Structure 1
Amino acid sequence: MKNQKQALLFGGATVLLWSTVATAFKLSLREMSPAQLMVIACTTSVLVLAVVLTLQGRLKYVFSLTRRQYAGSVLMGLLNPCLYYFVLFGAFDRLPAQEAQPLNYTWALALAYLSVPFLGQRLALSDIVAGLICYSGVVVIATRGDVLGLQFSDPVGVAMALASTLVWASYWIINTRDTRDPMVGLFLNFLFGLPFIVIFCLMTDGLPTASGTAFAASVYVGVFEMGIAFVLWMYAMKKAENTSQVSNLIFISPFLSLIFIHFILGEQILSSTYIGLVLIVAGLWVQQGGRRRSLKAAQP
């Protein structure tokens, strides 16, 4: 049954969790590599999702798919979690959290642009304007305010942060054709992706060994970023009477995240981060507003 108050509660809880994960990434990456973090987080996520499916009585659906769907799970698993989190954690490993986190929020814009060649959709004027605003914010953050000099703080890290948005957008575009139950699909993607992550880790950095803080932060990433947050957001969307009202909560997350980054990680938040983040969020707001107007105009 629809219940807007419950939807907002679930959505608010999700946004709060999303606001903490950038800090958890950095706490883990202080003592381990991106691949080692992926091993712990992905293993934890598989266990959490298995428990959720069991409690919901939906674990049986894991064993009722076709061979083609299982093969698809392997390919989707290579995309997410394997490629996506390797690139994302790589960006966080190279950049301060206050820079990597806002750049990753441009994935919604990447989704709109990739939908043109892959889904045959048209770009609206709001998408173009949003792109100009958002990516000007990216330049401000990436150059730490030296916009005219265009001296990027870490070109590889910035490239990885932006590449993660393309991988994530590609994942969701492919996901539009996925007929599996969303929770079952996510569980199988992580389950089939995990062996590849472990093998890669063994071939490069070796299995993770970390202190209690880094290990706990990695488990936190697996429980919340890769597990519970997805479940809560699904419930928020199912309960919502007004989905745009719930979706707007997302814009709070990057600003909350800066609070955790400052007080837990001890990063001094630069003025360029605030300016760039405001531009990115403003651009996404323009894009979302344009989409809503287009949907209303299309209604009879």
Structure 2
Amino acid sequence: MQQTKGNLLGLITISLWSCLALFTVYSGEIPPFELLTISFFVASLIGIAMLKKQKRAFKELFKIPLKAYFIGVVGLFGYHLFYFLAIKNAPAVEANLINYLWPLLIVLFSALLPNEKLKWFHILGTLLALCGAFLLVLKDGSLQFDTKYALGYSFALICALLWSSYSVISKTLTHIPTFAVTGFCILTAFFSAIAHLSFEQIYIPTFFELFAAIMLGLGPVGGAFYLWDFALKNGDIKILGSLAYLAPLLSTLILVFVGISKMTITIAIACVLIVLGSLVSSKQYLKIFKNLIFKA
């Protein structure tokens, strides 16, 4: 039951991540690190509210091991830092494609965990979903890997490695409570603010831009991290890795729905591949669901 709850919360997390592109577009001219500062500040408030609801003192965050803080901050701040560096130093299409290796890496790295077995349908399902994500990123554009962008490609690969490693390592930290993510978010907001003041000019957002930034903090760049932590520690990490490819799919569909993007044959094929991949990788759960139906 706990694993099912973890998988469900993981799916909700992925749904929240699908709003990332929409709210990022609506955040307008807010510089990247300023946007992260606002978003993770909101995420920190969510964690503080969680502490209050659980009747825990703020000082309990100081009892979290430094190792956990290192892993959390490297995962949250490190990923976003290298993502921005990748986009700045390489074409967005190629950088995003390399970045979207992280769900596949989660599935592969999970084989290194104790009591975790990687089966053929996990790999096949994730590869099908990866092909779908490839089509979504590519859309109707061209794909050219140029050696002059090697640095940007390297940053994108670091992104994929950081987030997949953070996710897999989090699976082993079941003794670290989810409210510890509050501390990760506070430190990430702090480092983002330093990066903003060091590399960007302060920008005063409009009301609508600020609203979008706050929504990012409530959802894809904030609140979702608490859900993901619980999902990783309680759900099936291989299934979660494959289902993660639903994020770019749902994100594209949302952009199509609001009129920012247009539906194309390429997107339709990508939808089929990602959904098919998610179903294949969830083969064992489909069998359980089927048996429950017939027993009923």
- Superposition TM-score, scaled by structure 1 size: 0.69
1:287 lines up with 2:281 in the alignment: yes
Instruction: Tell me which residue corresponds to 1:34.
Output: 32
Instruction: Tell me which residue corresponds to 1:275.
Output: 269
How far off is 1:45 after superposition? 0.8
Instruction: Tell me which residue corresponds to 1:58.
Output: 56
- Give CA deviations for 1:164-205 in whole Å, capped at 9, x if unaligned: 443221112221332554322211111223322221121111
The answer to whether the 8 Å contact 1:34/1:86 transfers is no
167, 170, 179: which one aligns with 2:165: 170
- Flag structure 1 segments of 5+ consecutive residues without an equivalent: 294-300
**1:267 is matched by which residue type in structure 2?**
S
How far off is 1:54 after superposition? 0.7
How far off is 1:216 after superposition? 1.3
Q: Name the SS for the 1:57 alignment partner.
A: coil
Residues 203-214 of structure 1 mapped to structure 2, 5 A cutoff: 203-214=198-209
- Once residues 113 and 8 of structure 1 are traced to their aligned partners in structure 2, the CA distance between those partners, rounded to angstroms, is 18
- Once residues 115 and 292 of structure 1 are traced to their aligned partners in structure 2, the CA distance between those partners, rounded to angstroms, is 21
- Once residues 14 and 132 of structure 1 are traced to their aligned partners in structure 2, the CA distance between those partners, rounded to angstroms, is 21
How far off is 1:255 after superposition? 4.8
RMSD: 4.6
**2:256 is matched by which residue type in structure 1?**
H
**2:120 is matched by which residue type in structure 1?**
L
**1:198 is matched by which residue type in structure 2?**
A
The answer to whether the 8 Å contact 1:137/1:279 transfers is yes
- Once residues 70 and 229 of structure 2 are traced to their aligned partners in structure 1, the CA distance between those partners, rounded to angstroms, is 23
State the percentage of identical aligned residues. Answer: 24
**1:206 is matched by which residue type in structure 2?**
Q
Distance 1:115 1:129, change over 3 A: same
Instruction: Tell me which residue corresponds to 2:290.
Output: none
Instruction: Tell me which residue corresponds to 1:43.
Output: 41
- Superposition TM-score, scaled by structure 2 size: 0.70
- Give CA deviations for 1:54-88 in whole Å, capped at 9, x if unaligned: 1221345724626xx0x224412432321122345
Instruction: Tell me which residue corresponds to 1:24.
Output: 23
**1:275 is matched by which residue type in structure 2?**
I
- Flag structure 2 segments of 5+ consecutive residues without an equivalent: 288-296
Count how many residue pairs are aligned between Structure 1 and Structure 2.
280
How far off is 1:44 after superposition? 1.2
Distance 1:234 1:197, change over 3 A: closer
- Give CA deviations for 1:268-287 in whole Å, capped at 9, x if unaligned: 24432332243233223322
Distance 1:248 1:75, change over 3 A: closer
Distance 1:252 1:113, change over 3 A: closer
**1:214 is matched by which residue type in structure 2?**
E
- Once residues 164 and 242 of structure 2 are traced to their aligned partners in structure 1, the CA distance between those partners, rounded to angstroms, is 19
122, 138, 141: which one aligns with 1:143: 138
Distance 1:266 1:247, change over 3 A: same
- Once residues 145 and 212 of structure 1 are traced to their aligned partners in structure 2, the CA distance between those partners, rounded to angstroms, is 34
- Once residues 76 and 202 of structure 1 are traced to their aligned partners in structure 2, the CA distance between those partners, rounded to angstroms, is 24
- Once residues 111 and 139 of structure 1 are traced to their aligned partners in structure 2, the CA distance between those partners, rounded to angstroms, is 17
85, 90, 107: which one aligns with 1:112: 107
253-262 or 230-239, larger mean C-alpha shift: 230-239
